[in-house]
C-alpha cells in the first residue's frame, strides 16, 4: 500500500517533465548501438561454431567428431550430444566475458570521473579492434585475443549505455527507452544470425571471416556517433559540478523550462555521491537492497537458460537432427521472435509495469522449457536415441515460445531495472557490479552448457526451468514496482517495501555504518 502511494506521488511530481523530444530519441538511438554490438557478438559466436570450415581450421578434433557423427547419424548412440564438448571451443565464446568482467569494473571509474560518453567511445574502439583481428585470425591465439578485445568493448558499453539511457529518459518513458538497449541486443543477434546463414553458403570456406569482421560496422557507428552524443545532466553535475550547464541540458532533453525539481534532486544526489567512494558507500546498510539486486538480477538473468539458446542454438538444433543450414535457419527464426517480443515489451512496460512482465515471462519460460525437455525425451525413446524430424520442428517452435517469454521479460528488464534502481551516488559503481556479475555467470554458463548437454541431455532444460521458478517468486516478493517513478525518487520505494524498509529505518544515523 505504501509503495503504491509513493509511486503515485512520484508520478504526479514528474508529469511536468514527462515530455519526450526528438533530441532524446536521437541520442538514445545512437547510444543503444552498444546493444547492437553486444547482440551481434552473442549471435555470431554460436553460428560460426557450427560452420565446418571454421571448425576444421581452428578446432579440427571437433570437426572430425562432427563428420563421424554425420556419417553414423542413424545409429543408436548419444555421441551427438557431446560433439561440441570441447573446453578449447567453448573458450572461444566464454573468453570474451573474462576481459569484459575486468573492463566493466574499470569503466566505473571512467564513467564517474569523465562521464558516460568516454566509456561508450572506448567500448566502440575496443570492439572495432577486436572485430578486425577476429576477421583476419590465422590461429587460435589470434582468435582468442580478438575475443578478449571484444570483451573490453562489451564491458565498457554494457556499463555505460544502460546508465545513459535511463538518465536521458523522462520517467514516464524510461522503461520504453531503456528497453531499447535490449531491443538493440536483439537486432544485433538477429543480424548476426542472418549474416551467418548467408555466409555459410560461400563456397570458398571463408564465410566465417565475413561473419566475424562484420561486427566492425555497428562498432564504427557507435565509435563515431559517441563523439556527438550529449552528456546526461546527471553526468554533467557528477563530473564538472556545473549546475547551470546541467540545467540547460535538462531543459533541452525534457522540452520544458520546468525542470527545477529534477535539477534539485540531481544536485542533492551529487552532493551525497562526492562524500565517499561509491564502492565503499555501496556497502552501507541503507544500500543493502540495491546491493542485493545488483547481484541477484544479473545472476537470475543468466540462469534463465537463455544463453543455451543465444550461444549454442545452432549447436542445439544440430543436436536434434538439423543440418548446418537448417540449424542456422532455425536460429534465425528464434532471433526474429526474440526481437519482436522485445519490441512488444517496449510498448507495454510503462503501462503494465515491470513485475507483471516478470511474472508473465517467467511462467511462459517455465512451461516451454519443461515441454522441450519432455519432447526430446519422448522423441529419443520412440526413435531409439535419434530425434525424428517432426520432433525437431516441435523443439524449434517451443524454443521460439521460450525466447519470446525471455524477450519481453528478463531480456530487457534485466538491464532496465538495475539501471533505474540505483541512486546517483552509487549508480556507476552498482552498475559495474551488475555487469560484472552478469559476465561472471555468463562465462560460467558458456563453459558449462556443452558438458551439461553431453551429460544431462534433455535434463538441462529441467535444470534451468527450476531456476525460473526461483527467480519468478523472488522478484514478486522482493522487487518494488518502479513504473513511472522518476529515477531520483526510486530510492523512496525501498523505504515503503514490506521487507527492505527495515534496512532504511536507521538511515539518518547510519550514514557511515559499513558492514
Mean pLDDT of 333-356: 90
Q: Per mean pLDDT, which range of 159-168, 242-251, 422-431, 503-512 is the poorest?
A: 503-512
**Domain contains 305:** yes
Residue 383 shares a structural domain with residue 470: yes
**Domain contains 81:** no
> What is the pLDDT confidence band of residue 508, given thresholds at 50, 70 and 90?
very low
The pLDDT of residue 356 is above 90: yes
Residue 328 shares a structural domain with residue 477: yes
Q: Which residue has the higher pLDDT, 270 or 319?
A: 270
Using alpha carbons only, how large is the chain's radius of gyration in Å? 23
Burial zone of 261 (CB within 10 Å; 0-12 exposed, 13-18 middle, 19+ buried) = middle
The pLDDT of residue 509 is above 50: no
Which cell goes with 294?
545488483
Question: Looking at the DSSP assignment, which residues form a beta bridge with residue 514?
Answer: 284
Report the pLDDT value the prediction gives residue 501, as an integer from 0 to 100.
85
Residue 145 shares a structural domain with residue 205: yes
How do residues 455-485 score in pLDDT, each as one tens digit? 888 888 999 999 999 999 999 999 999 888 8
Q: Is 270 helix (H, G, I), strand (E, B) or coil?
A: helix
Of 171, 177, 234, which is closest to residue 12 (Cα–Cα)?
171
**CA pair distance 415, 502, nearest whole angstrom:** 26
Question: Looking at the DSSP assignment, which residues form a beta bridge with residue 284?
Answer: 514
Report the pLDDT value the prediction gives residue 71, as an integer from 0 to 100.
61
The pLDDT of residue 407 is above 60: yes
Which cell goes with 375?
519432447
The count of structural domains within the chain is 2
Domain that holds residue 250: 233-277
The pLDDT of residue 241 is above 50: yes
Mean pLDDT of 259-267: 85
- In 10 A of CB 139, how many CB atoms? 10
Q: Which residue has the higher pLDDT, 174 or 12?
A: 174
Distance of CA 348 to the CA centre of its chain: 19
**Domain contains 284:** no
Of 149, 445, 118, which is closest to residue 307 (Cα–Cα)?
445
**CA pair distance 247, 244, nearest whole angstrom:** 5
Report the pLDDT value the prediction gives residue 69, as an integer from 0 to 100.
64
Distance of CA 424 to the CA centre of its chain: 22
Ramachandran region of residue 217, left (φ > 0), alpha (ψ -120 to 50) or beta? alpha
Which stretches does DSSP call E strand in 170-256?
none
The pLDDT of residue 311 is above 70: no
Report the pLDDT value the prediction gives residue 354, as an integer from 0 to 100.
93
Residue 107 shares a structural domain with residue 164: yes
Q: Is 470 helix (H, G, I), strand (E, B) or coil?
A: helix
- As a whole-number percent, the residues of the chain with pLDDT over 70 amount to 85
Residue 25 shares a structural domain with residue 96: yes
**Domain contains 50:** yes
Is 123 in contact with 154 (CB distance < 8 Å)?
yes
> 514 phi and psi, to 5 degrees?
-110, 125
Domain of 211: which CATH number? 1.20.1250.20
**CA pair distance 23, 6, nearest whole angstrom:** 30
Amino acid at each position: 500500500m505504501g509503495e503504491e502511494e509513493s509511486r503515485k506521488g512520484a508520478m504526479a511530481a514528474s508529469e511536468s517533465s514527462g515530455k519526450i523530444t526528438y533530441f532524446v530519441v536521437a541520442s538514445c538511438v545512437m547510444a543503444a548501438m552498444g546493444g547492437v554490438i553486444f547482440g551481434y557478438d552473442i549471435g555470431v559466436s554460436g553460428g560460426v561454431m557450427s560452420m565446418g570450415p571454421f571448425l576444421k581450421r581452428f578446432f579440427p578434433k571437433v570437426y572430425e567428431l562432427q563428420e563421424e557423427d554425420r556419417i553414423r547419424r542413424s545409429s543408436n548412440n548419444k555421441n551427438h550430444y557431446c560433439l561440441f564438448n570441447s573446453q578449447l571451443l567453448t573458450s572461444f565464446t566464454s573468453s570474451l566475458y573474462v576481459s569484459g568482467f575486468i573492463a566493466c569494473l574499470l569503466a566505473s571509474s571512467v564513467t564517474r570521473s569523465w562521464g558516460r560518453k568516454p566509456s561508450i567511445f572506448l567500448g566502440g574502439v575496443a570492439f572495432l579492434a577486436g572485430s578486425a583481428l577476429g576477421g583476419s585470425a590465422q590461429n587460435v591465439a589470434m582468435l582468442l585475443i580478438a575475443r578478449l578485445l571484444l570483451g573490453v568493448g562489451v564491458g565498457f558499453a554494457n556499463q555505460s549505455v544502460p546508465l545513459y539511457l535511463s538518465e536521458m529518459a523522462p520517467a514516464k518513458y524510461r522503461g520504453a527507452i531503456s528497453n531499447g538497449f535490449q531491443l538493440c541486443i536483439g537486432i544485433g543477434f538477429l543480424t548476426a544470425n542472418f549474416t551467418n546463414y548467408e555466409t555459410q553458403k560461400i563456397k570458398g570456406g571463408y564465410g566465417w571471416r565475413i561473419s566475424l569482421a562484420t561486427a566492425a560496422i555497428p562498432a564504427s557507428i557507435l565509435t563515431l556517433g559517441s563523439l556527438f552524443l550529449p552528456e546526461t545532466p546527471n553526468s554533467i553535475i557528477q563530473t564538472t559540478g556545473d549546475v547551470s550547464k546541467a540545467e540547460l541540458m535538462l531543459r533541452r532533453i525534457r522540452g520544458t523550462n520546468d525542470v527545477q525539481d529534477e535539477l534539485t534532486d540531481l544536485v542533492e544526489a551529487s552532493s551525497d555521491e562526492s562524500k565517499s567512494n561509491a564502492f565503499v558507500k555501496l556497502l552501507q546498510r541503507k544500500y543493502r537492497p540495491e546491493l542485493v539486486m545488483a547481484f541477484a538480477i544479473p545472476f537470475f538473468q543468466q540462469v534463465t537458460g537463455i544463453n543455451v539458446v543465444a550461444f549454442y542454438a545452432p549447436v542445439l538444433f544440430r543436436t536434434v537432427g538439423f543440418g548446418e543450414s537448417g540449424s542456422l535457419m532455425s536460429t534465425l527464426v528464434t532471433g526474429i521472435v526474440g526481437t519482436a517480443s522485445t519490441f512488444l515489451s517496449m510498448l507495454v512496460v510503462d503501462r503494465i509495469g515491470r513485475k507483471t512482465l516478470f511474472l508473465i515471462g517467467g511462467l511462459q519460460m517455465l512451461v516451454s522449457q519443461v515441454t522441450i525437455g519432455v519432447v526430446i525425451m519422448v522423441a529419443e525413446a520412440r526413435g531409439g536415441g535419434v530425434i525424428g524430424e517432426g520432433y525437431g520442428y516441435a523443439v524449434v517452435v517451443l524454443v521460439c515460445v521460450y525466447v519470446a517469454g525471455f524477450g519481453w521479460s528478463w531480456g530487457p528488464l534485466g538491464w532496465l531495472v538495475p539501471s533505474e534502481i540505483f541512486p546517483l551516488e552509487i549508480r556507476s559503481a552498482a552498475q559495474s557490479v551488475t555487469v560484472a556479475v552478469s559476465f561472471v555467470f555468463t562465462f560460467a554458463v558458456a563453459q558449462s552448457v556443452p558438458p551439461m548437454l553431453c551429460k544431462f541431455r534433455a535434463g538441462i532444460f529441467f535444470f534451468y526451468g527450476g531456476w525460473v521458478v526461483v527467480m519468478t517468486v523472488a522478484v514478486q516478493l522482493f522487487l518494488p514496482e518502479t513504473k513511472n517513478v522518476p529515477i531520483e525518487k526510486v530510492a523512496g520505494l525501498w523505504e515503503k517495501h514490506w521487507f527492505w524498509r527495515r534496512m532504511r529505518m536507521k538511515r539518518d544515523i547510519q550514514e557511515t555504518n559499513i558492514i
